[in-house]
Amino acid sequence: MQTKEYHFTIQSRGKQWLLMLLLIACGTALTLILGKEMNETTQILVVAAVVCVSVVFAMWASSAKVTVRLSEKGFEHIWNRRFSLCFKKDRLIPWNLIEGMNLHTGGRPARFETPAAWYYFTLKVKDGKDYRISKSFMGTYDTDFTEFVRNFLQIGNEFKKTLYPELDLIAEI
């Protein structure tokens, strides 16, 4: 079997919202403290600039670039650029530990013909440490994420059939 690699950007929604709210609160407080000499229009423009910069910086700081490799070893997650303050290591999940996968679409039914609606992908792992990838929403259509999700069951089950014929195939949960 041939090794398949996918490169895409992922996003941490929790880090994004926390960082964005923290930056907006600090920037607004600083503007109010230092802005006593400014007129009202200037204060509004400064607060708007703080909000815009906070949103853009939070989106950048909460995104990461990863490589996902599907090989005979298993499912391998490799960090190319980590999230800010992220100390997670690369992860290898052997095929015999993967039970299933789930595609989350925010409550809507998962339709493989509408990749724009996909939010994140979860692997159900036997050791209890499920693996989750949230796609990036930073304005780019990430074709590698889409291709990865569409091909995962087929490629994963081919490896699992070849290496572990006695185990059940990966199921869509």
CA-to-CA dists, residue 51 to 22, 39, 94, 106, 135, angstroms: 11, 19, 44, 26, 24
Of 135, 127, 125, the residue nearest 173 (C-alpha):
125
Find tokens 């530990």 and name the residue. 97
Of 146, 147, 135, the residue nearest 62 (C-alpha):
135
Q: Are strands 131-134 and 91-93 parallel, antiparallel or unpaired?
A: unpaired
Q: What is the pLDDT of residues 63-116, one digit of tens each?
A: 888 898 998 888 898 988 877 677 778 889 898 888 888 776 555 554 444 555
In the chain, where the domains are located = 4-11+64-172, 13-61
Topology annotation, domain 4-11+64-172: PH-domain like (2.30.29)
Q: Say what the pLDDT of residue 143 is.
A: 62
Q: Say what the pLDDT of residue 69 is.
A: 92
Mean pLDDT of the chain, nearest integer: 79
